[in-house]
Every structure is written in C-alpha cells, then in structure tokens.
Amino acid sequence: MRPVGPRASTRLLALVGHPVRRSRSPEMHNAALRARGIDAVYLALEVAPARADRVVEALRTLGVAGANLTVPFKEAAVGQVDSLHRSAQRAGSVNTLVMKAGRVRGYNTDGVGLLDHLRHLGRPQPRRAVVLGAGGTGRAVGAALLDQGAHVTLLNRTPERARGVVAAWGQGDAGPLTASAFAHAAATADLVVRCTGGAGDATRALDPGGFGGSTWVDVNYWDDDPPHRAALGDRFVGGLGMLAFQGARALSLWIDDPVPGAELLDTLEAAP
C-alpha cells in the first residue's frame, strides 16, 4: 500500500522567521488543509536574520505557493515583493506572501485579524487605542485601527521610530513607552494592544490601574506570564485569537476560498 503523505506535487506553504520553533501556525494551517482535502503542507522555516534581504527571492526560487513572515522579516520584505496590497502599504510591513504566475504580492493580515477576533468575541469597536511597540505587528495593528476610524497612540521605547510610523500613517499620536506617557494615553483609551516582547519589555513597568477601557490584547500568545493578566481580569485577551484570525485571512488568500477564523481558533484551543 502506498504511504499517505506529501508527494512531489504537494504545494508548499511556509512560515519564515527567527525564532519559529514555538509557533503554532503549522498545526492550525495543516488541520485546515486536511479538512478540505487540499494537497498542501505548511512548514516552519528557521532563517538567520542576516538573510533578511534574500528571503522573498529564495521562496520564489523554491516555488513556494505562499508564506507567512514573522520577526524579523516583516519590514524587510516590503522592498522585495513585486506588488503590495494596501494592507501592507499602510502597515509598512508584510506578514503574508502570495505567489502566483511567478510574481509575489505582499499583504498584512495582522491588524484585520485582531479586529476580526475582537468582533468574534463581541467586544465593542475601539474608538481610542494605545498600541505598544512600533515593529511590524504594531504598525499593522495601528493601521487597521485607523482604517476603522479609531484614534491611535503609538508608544515605543525609541520614540523617534514611533513618530516616523505615525508620520507615514498621516494621523495618530506617538510617544515614548514610559509609565507617564502610557498613563496619559490609557486614561481615555478603550483598547490597549501589546505588540512588544523580550526580557526587557518595558510593558511590565506600566501601571494598568489607569486603564479604564474594556479590552487589553497581548499578541504574544506564547508568553506564559504576560504582563498584567491577573490585574486586568476578563478585560485581558490573549493573542491566540489574533493568530487564528490573521491565519484564516492568509489561508483564504492562498486557497482562494474563505476560511473561518473560528475554525482555526477551535483547532488551537482543542490541542493539549
């Protein structure tokens, strides 16, 4: 009996980043592909950051059908694709690549994925938001919120970088990721989104006591001890939902068929 598994005709989808070993994207995408009987496989590829300027060309050469990009490749890919969807233009970063007929188009599904998940939870549409971190994810989240009519304050450890992002957006406020700047912005916000990470994350020094809004989202779904989760109670939302809903948007682009974000979230939540 011929073994069942990938064949020479199997399409390859991939996640490229550093690190990616903790990613849960392969399990949710491969489950969705199996459920649809699609002959494709999704793999996580660990790539050295020094290769950032060659990632898109390498994927094109290998004939990859589609890919997700994560840290530290999202911003570097902007200048490497053949065309950019408005979502990637606004974000200044790419998290999804679609390869068709030898051409590569860059999208960003991070921000809309977060908003999809908030709607799924029945959370109110944000009017004023504070985004912590001006990296690729923070840029995408902020851009999507602005497109929904929210006012966005972007705080970053290097405030000059935040100001540059806001200038590119053409709207919003920027400042340093400090306790005083956060307290001022969070006092009138109904949403905070943490898009920072690392052992020295300044988010841990912030006081959530002045935040009176309904929702605090932490995109770092792999963080076992995210800052302020206990203090925020049911206002705290982990990043697993954003992962699922942005992934559903990406998979929909690759297979040309809508994929419910709730389906991918169910897969992740059912796993041990």
* Residues classed as catalytic: 74
Q: How many residues appear in the chain? A: 272
Q: Residue 256 carries which side chain, given as an amino acid letter? A: D
Scan for tokens 């590119």, then name that residue. 168
Report the alpha-carbon distance of residue 35 to residue 46 in Å, rounded. 26
The kind and range of the H/E element at 14 are: strand 11-17
Residues 6 or more apart from 50 whose CB is under 8 A from it?
Answer: none
Q: What are phi and psi of 106, to 5 degrees?
A: -100, 135
Q: Judging by beta carbons within 10 Å of its beta carbon (0-12, 13-18, 19+), is residue 189 exposed, middle or buried?
A: buried
Helix/strand/coil for 13: strand
Strand partners, 133: none
Calculate ∠ Cα 25-30-32, nearest 5°.
100
Q: Kindly give the pairing relationship between strand 66-69 and strand 96-100.
A: antiparallel
Cα angle 83, 8, 59 (rounded to 5 degrees) comes to 25
194 Cβ contact partners less than 8 Å away, ≥ 6 residues apart:
132, 133, 203, 216, 217, 218, 219, 220, 226, 227
Contact 97, 52 (CB under 8 A): no
